[in-house]
């Protein structure tokens, strides 16, 4: 399995810790507020907000937190956030994409650059690594929703492009512009998804040994610990043996 999927699983387990959950809730609430402010506060009329709410629910964000985030967008005192993408290389030459929402570009840029430097990486220009990724929609389901053939047929009917099935579950990929339509059709066929979101899917990966993975994880952890950073994606790959040792 590709490293980015393994990393997502590692992060998911790690995210069960209380401190990480609190930070995750805050970031998901920020996405909801921004999505609602940019469009309609009704998720049924605002595809981006609908996806943000779905992702928040999949991470067990309480309904009152979601409702407050939407109401915040309608108030005159709601913060204005800029969405910024940073790109660079981490230890071992791994390509890293950092997506941020900030009310202070200088602060965020300085923090992200410092984090890369301290971890043995280099922050590059926009476009310096994104050519190694594709912007895709991703819908995930647990393994018990059905076998690989059942999910594949549902995905084809929904207009998806690809499916990756394993013992951990099913990941369905589609064009980024089709995510809302594909996820809605899949829900009618397979039920509520575990996650529905836009991702950067690596088209090429860099394999790391244990030492390289330990260094990279320190960078990814530090980036994700930044309150302005929403998502971090890296194109690493590691063997099951290396991941087990982590």
Give me the domain span that covers residue 144: 133-202
* Same domain flag for 104 and 224: yes
CATH of the domain at 95: 3.30.70.980
Question: What distance in Å separates the CA atoms of residue 61 and residue 65, rounded to the nearest whole number?
Answer: 7
Q: What are the pLDDT digits (tens) for 65-74?
A: 999 999 988 8
Question: What distance in Å separates the CA atoms of residue 16 and residue 72, rounded to the nearest whole number?
Answer: 26
Question: What distance in Å separates the CA atoms of residue 201 and residue 4, rounded to the nearest whole number?
Answer: 8
* Same domain flag for 187 and 215: no
What's this model's pTM, rounded to 2 decimal places?
Answer: 0.84
Length of the chain: 246
Q: What is the pLDDT of residue 215?
A: 93
The two three-digit tokens of residue 28, written as one number:
């998901």
* Same domain flag for 190 and 143: yes
Q: What is the pLDDT of residue 16?
A: 47
Q: What are the pLDDT digits (tens) for 184-208?
A: 999 999 998 988 889 999 999 999 9
Q: What is the pLDDT of residue 47?
A: 87
Last residue of a domain, one of 73, 92, 114: 73
Q: How many independent structural domains does the chain possess?
A: 3
Q: What are the pLDDT digits (tens) for 125-173?
A: 999 999 999 999 999 999 999 999 999 999 999 999 999 999 999 999 9
Q: Does an H or E element contain 239, and which?
A: none
Question: What distance in Å separates the CA atoms of residue 121 and residue 124, rounded to the nearest whole number?
Answer: 10
* Same domain flag for 186 and 210: no
Question: What distance in Å separates the CA atoms of residue 71 and residue 33, rounded to the nearest whole number?
Answer: 8
* Same domain flag for 194 and 229: no
């Amino acid at each position: 399995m590709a490293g980015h999927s393994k990393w997502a699983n590692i992060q998911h387990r790690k995210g069960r810790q209380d401190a990480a959950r609190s930070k995750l809730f805050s970031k998901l609430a920020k996405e909801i507020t921004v999505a609602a402010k940019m469009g309609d506060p009704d998720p049924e009329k605002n595809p981006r907000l609908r996806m943000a709410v779905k992702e928040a629910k999949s991470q067990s964000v309480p309904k009152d937190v979601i409702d407050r985030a939407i109401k915040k967008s309608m108030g005159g005192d709601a913060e204005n956030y800029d969405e910024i993408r940073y790109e660079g290389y981490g230890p071992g030459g791994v390509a890293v994409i950092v997506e941020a929402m900030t009310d202070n570009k200088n602060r965020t840029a300085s923090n992200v650059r410092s984090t890369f430097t301290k971890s043995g990486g280099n922050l590059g220009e926009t476009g310096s690594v994104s050519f190694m990724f594709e912007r895709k929609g991703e819908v995930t389901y647990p393994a018990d929703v059905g076998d690989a053939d059942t999910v594949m047929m549902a995905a084809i009917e929904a207009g998806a492009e690809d499916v990756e099935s394993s013992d951990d579950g099913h990941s369905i990929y589609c064009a980024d512009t089709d995510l809302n339509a594909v996820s809605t059709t899949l829900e009618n066929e397979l039920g509520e998804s575990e996650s529905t979101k836009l991702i950067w899917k690596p088209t090429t990966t860099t394999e790391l040994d244990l030492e390289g993975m330990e260094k990279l994880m320190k960078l990814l952890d530090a980036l994700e610990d930044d309150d302005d950073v929403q998502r971090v994606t890296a194109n690493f790959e590691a063997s099951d043996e290396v991941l087990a040792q982590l």
